[in-house]
A and B are shown apart, each in its own frame.
Chain A
Amino acid sequence: MLILPTDAGLYCPIGDFYIDPWQPVARAVITHAHSDHARPGSAAYLATRDSERVLRTRLGADAHIETLAYGESVSINGVDVSFHPAGHILGSAQVRVAYRGEVWVVSGDYKTDPDMTCAPFEPVRCHTFMTESTFGLPIYRWPPQASVLAQISEWWRRNQEAGRASILYAYALGKAQRLIAGLDPTIGPIFVHGALVRITEDYRASGVALPPVQYVGDAPRGFDWSQALILAPPSAHGTPWLRRFDPFSTGFASGWMRIRGTRRRRAIDRGFVLSDHADWPGLLAAIDATGAERVWVTHGYAAVLVRWLQDRGHDAAVIQTRFEGEVGE
């Protein structure tokens, strides 16, 4: 086996490195900067160039991080390692691992839908493909991004007419910046919660063009929020932080919003179906495009996707990992 699941993470014994380990190791190859994939404490990290700034914010200034451009290859103990765009967030990559003609690809998290803030997903031919399955059920089919952004704009305008602030919850790393890039800044001012400031600056510094946004804390006392859209992490919902915006309407941009129950349980006014993960058709198309003989399925609806693949004659198996997808995705 070129790659094995171990207690510390996915391990390549020949190259002696881990991919997205969940325990500190000597050498970690990182698919992307989300905290369930990029954990602190390892001695050396290898990641994409695009992800470096965000990764440093997450792992600390002292972390030893080496980078590669997409498509650039490095040999680790004779094993060829290269990164290929996963389309999930800025700098996210699939890790291609090749040794003596055998090719494995670890996808990390990925999406096949467009995103202005990162390089689009590129299928990589391989023998074994390791895929996520966060939204691995056929009920998850994403509407076109343009129509979702139009819904958000319309909600924002209606809130403005009704004199209400628009609080839009989004995952702090990736989703929030994708929204900032996609929102129409001519509608009104865009503000961000403190948790988004640094990451958004990292995106800008990495060369992603984003319209200007303001930090909520910089607004003067008694500011009229009714025309503003405020981006915040989902954890801000129901906290006293929201009081200053009253009256307001809340929205949440996430793939989970495809299901009414998820939105209603969180007591959020509007759900917008926008995900940084592949939907069901996206997963199937991505798997198909790899031409892989063997598919290993990790976090999400792994058992479902495996059964579906097996029924279609694939060699597929569930691999236990500690990746969680984004609960607030």
Chain B
Amino acid sequence: MHTFAQLYATLDETTRTSVKIEALANYFEHADPADAAWALFFLIGRRPRQAVPLPALRAWAIDAAGIPDWLFGECYDAVGDFAETVTLLLPEPDEWTADVDRSVLPFDGPQPLHRWVEDVLLPLRDRDEMAQRAIVRAVWATLGGTERFVWNKLITGAFRVGVSQQLVVRALARVSGIDPSTIAHRLMGEWHPSEAFYRTLLARDTTDANISRPYPFCLAHPLDADPETLGTIDEWQAEWKWDGIRSQLIRRAGRTFLWSRGEELITDRFPEIVASSALLPDGVVLDGEVLPWKNGAVLPFAQLQRRIGRKNLTKAILDEAPVALLAYDLLELNGVDVRDRPLEWRRTELERLIATCAPSCPTLLISPVITATDWDDLAAQWATSRERNVEGLVLKRRSSPYRVGRVRGDWWKWKVAPYTIDAVLIYAQRGSGKRASLYTDYTFAVWDGDRLVPFAKAYSGLTDEEIRQVDAFVRRNTLEKFGPVRTVTPELVFELAFEGIQRSNRHKSGIAVRFPRILRWRRDKRPADADTLERVRAMLPEEP
């Protein structure tokens, strides 16, 4: 545990990528494989099932710290991180009194990470609350400093330390000499962190037996220049940038697996796609987008949201919010990884494949390629994105392989300009994590007659300096406090951008927007200059 906590501290202390990779490589080089497997598991953001409910942890921490519940709330607001709040409030190990029984732990003295996880953390789930409390208190009274903090991070299931999976993979590649894309692929899908897994991960040659394992997604980079700078249009394939769930459909050994880009297995949510996929031959992997789809056209994203997170798919919901998978790319054919073949080749094979099963597969479609004579022609079609319910275009280099992650050069997303509106800051709340203790979470309002109605929340878009200034404004201009939320004098005006706009009964303004964010602080505008609800309503799509 100590070396892992040291690694955590080192990663947490630096903002430099080179230092992080160095620290990770150094850790993996010397770590026991059983420890390394768990370290990897947590570092890339995986988590075991919640061992202990958070309210129970909170109650035990409050009890150990000898403070009332409301004070824990105040502390949490200042810290913005549950595990850290608990860590800061607990007595140090030498301050615990006799009423803690350290013998409930299965061992004594310093232990490696995997023993803390496998012998203490994981078995907690199956114990009753009394036993859980005794064990957690014993751990708290045993571990000090960073180790205690790391333990609290593990038990709360919120282990984040500012390293991306890509960074961890690079470090592992450096230590093992295995190609990063091979490691990334082996980390996809379901796996259990163990010594055996870690050895397989870094083995020179393994026959991959895991039939559900997806490939890492290739992601488009935002296009920040004029598309003409990309060269001649014949080098590029253009497709609509659909607004759905980016997914990978795997058909192997007579079974179908559907993965979301967040590496979540979502097969069960979309039975109609699974049904269609049964017609695909074995050894096929498709990259595509799950979309709300009806009568040959895409529906607004909100329709898809009704399907997400729903355990019970009733017939009614299947009828009201039908979906389809629009295939973008072909990653595996006849059981062979074809990601290195040029896009042109993959596209031809993909078209052939979908055409074969097309008549009987209404929910397995292909994302059409947009034909354009020149960049101007393409730009004219791009300008119609909004009315088509798409976010813009994706441009893919015809000669390119299917790469891992977000790499500049071959895939570009060319989004249409978002909707924008000027709104007034009316509520502020402290942020979490890095932004804890600063007021960084804002609610904005627009005018409805002489009243300001809350319209959108936005968290991102300001510079650190601007955040500090807004924070100071909030503190000096608080009208009322409701728990963590402060009502402030309506004085500051911001230009907000958002992607989609929908009617909504759940919002006071009657409107819900997608991806709202702050474009800029309009210091030149007075609150009276902010936009009206009427103008926002005018952006709504026609009533169906």
Q: Is A218 an interface residue (CB 8 A)?
A: no
Given A138-B89, A139-B89, A258-B88: A269 touches B13 (CB 8 Å cut-off): yes
Q: Is B68 an interface residue (CB 8 A)?
A: yes
The listed residue (A138, A264, A265, A267) touching B67 by CB distance below 8 A is A138
Chain A min CB distance to B10 (Å): 10
Q: Is A307 an interface residue (CB 8 A)?
A: yes
Q: Is B428 an interface residue (CB 8 A)?
A: no
The listed residue (B14, B74, B79, B80) touching A269 by CB distance below 8 A is B14
Q: Is A245 an interface residue (CB 8 A)?
A: no
Chain A contacts for B84, CB-based, 8 A: 259-261
Chain A contacts for B433, CB-based, 8 A: 261, 264
Q: Is A308 an interface residue (CB 8 A)?
A: yes
Chain B min CB distance to A263 (Å): 9
1/0 per position for B69-102, CB-CB distance to A under 8 A?
0110011001111001100110000000000000
The listed residue (A259, A267, A308, A311) touching B78 by CB distance below 8 A is A259
User: Which chain A residues (295-326) contact chain B, with CB distance < 8 Å?
Assistant: 301, 304, 307-308, 311
Given A138-B89, A139-B75, 7 other A-B residues pairs in contact with their CB atoms under 8 A:
A137-B78, A259-B79, A261-B81, A261-B84, A265-B434, A269-B14, A301-B74
Chain B contacts for A311, CB-based, 8 A: 68
Q: Is B435 an interface residue (CB 8 A)?
A: yes
1/0 per position for B418-451, CB-CB distance to A under 8 A?
0000000000000011111110000000000000
Given A139-B88, A261-B81, A269-B14: A308 touches B435 (CB 8 Å cut-off): no
26 A-B contacts, Cβ less than 8 Å apart?
A137-B71, A137-B74, A137-B75, A138-B67, A138-B71, A139-B75, A139-B78, A258-B88, A259-B78, A260-B12, A261-B84, A261-B434, A261-B435, A261-B436, A262-B437, A264-B12, A264-B162, A264-B434, A265-B435, A265-B438, A269-B15, A270-B13, A301-B74, A304-B74, A308-B71, A311-B68
Chain B contacts for A301, CB-based, 8 A: 74, 78
Given A139-B88, A258-B88, A261-B436: A304 touches B71 (CB 8 Å cut-off): yes
Chain B contacts for A265, CB-based, 8 A: 434-435, 438, 464
Q: Is B120 an interface residue (CB 8 A)?
A: no
Q: Is the CB of A261 within 8 A of B79?
A: yes
Chain A contacts for B13, CB-based, 8 A: 269-270
Cα(A301)–Cα(B437), bound, Å: 12
Cα(A259)–Cα(B12), bound, Å: 12
Cα(A265)–Cα(B431), bound, Å: 11
Which partner residue on chain A sits nearest B84 by CB separation?
A260
Cα(A137)–Cα(B84), bound, Å: 14
Q: Is B265 an interface residue (CB 8 A)?
A: no
Chain A min CB distance to B464 (Å): 7
Chain B min CB distance to A253 (Å): 15
Interface of B is mostly: helix
Chain A contacts for B31, CB-based, 8 A: none
Q: Is B65 an interface residue (CB 8 A)?
A: yes
User: Which chain B residues (1-54) contact chain A, with CB distance < 8 Å?
Assistant: 12-15
Chain B contacts for A270, CB-based, 8 A: 13
Q: Which residues of A contact B (CB under 8 A)?
A: 137-139, 141, 258-262, 264-265, 267, 269-270, 301, 304, 307-308, 311
The listed residue (B75, B81, B464) touching A138 by CB distance below 8 A is B75
Chain B min CB distance to A298 (Å): 14
The listed residue (B70, B75, B88, B436) touching A307 by CB distance below 8 A is B70
Chain B min CB distance to A22 (Å): 13
Chain B min CB distance to A267 (Å): 5
Cα(A259)–Cα(B438), bound, Å: 12
Cα(A258)–Cα(B315), bound, Å: 54
Chain B contacts for A138, CB-based, 8 A: 65, 67, 71, 75, 89
Q: Is the CB of B81 within 8 A of A260?
A: yes
Chain B contacts for A262, CB-based, 8 A: 436-437
User: Which chain B residues (125-168) contact chain A, with CB distance < 8 Å?
Assistant: 162
Cα(A21)–Cα(B283), bound, Å: 79
Cα(A265)–Cα(B433), bound, Å: 9
Cα(A301)–Cα(B74), bound, Å: 9
Cα(A187)–Cα(B284), bound, Å: 64
Chain B min CB distance to A327 (Å): 9
Chain B min CB distance to A290 (Å): 22
Chain B contacts for A137, CB-based, 8 A: 71, 74-75, 78
The listed residue (B15, B74, B80) touching A267 by CB distance below 8 A is B15
Chain A contacts for B15, CB-based, 8 A: 267, 269
Which partner residue on chain B sits nearest A301 by CB separation?
B74
Chain B min CB distance to A140 (Å): 8
Cα(A264)–Cα(B435), bound, Å: 9
Chain A min CB distance to B11 (Å): 11
Cα(A260)–Cα(B87), bound, Å: 12
Chain A contacts for B435, CB-based, 8 A: 261, 265
Chain A contacts for B80, CB-based, 8 A: 261
Cα(A137)–Cα(B77), bound, Å: 11
Chain A contacts for B70, CB-based, 8 A: 307
**What 3 A-B pairs have minimum CB-CB distances, sorted nearest first?**
A261-B436, A139-B88, A139-B75
Chain A min CB distance to B380 (Å): 44
Cα(A311)–Cα(B67), bound, Å: 11
Most buried by B among A141, A261, A265, A269: A261
Chain B contacts for A261, CB-based, 8 A: 79-81, 84, 432-437
Chain B contacts for A269, CB-based, 8 A: 13-15
Q: Is the CB of A259 within 8 A of B436?
A: yes
Chain B min CB distance to A159 (Å): 12
Chain A contacts for B162, CB-based, 8 A: 264
Chain B min CB distance to A210 (Å): 29
Which partner residue on chain A sits nearest B436 by CB separation?
A261
Cα(A141)–Cα(B68), bound, Å: 17
Which partner residue on chain A sits nearest B72 by CB separation?
A138
Chain B contacts for A141, CB-based, 8 A: 88
Chain B min CB distance to A60 (Å): 27
Cα(A269)–Cα(B437), bound, Å: 19
Chain A min CB distance to B84 (Å): 6
Given A260-B12, A269-B15: A139 touches B79 (CB 8 Å cut-off): yes
Cα(A105)–Cα(B13), bound, Å: 41
Cα(A139)–Cα(B79), bound, Å: 9
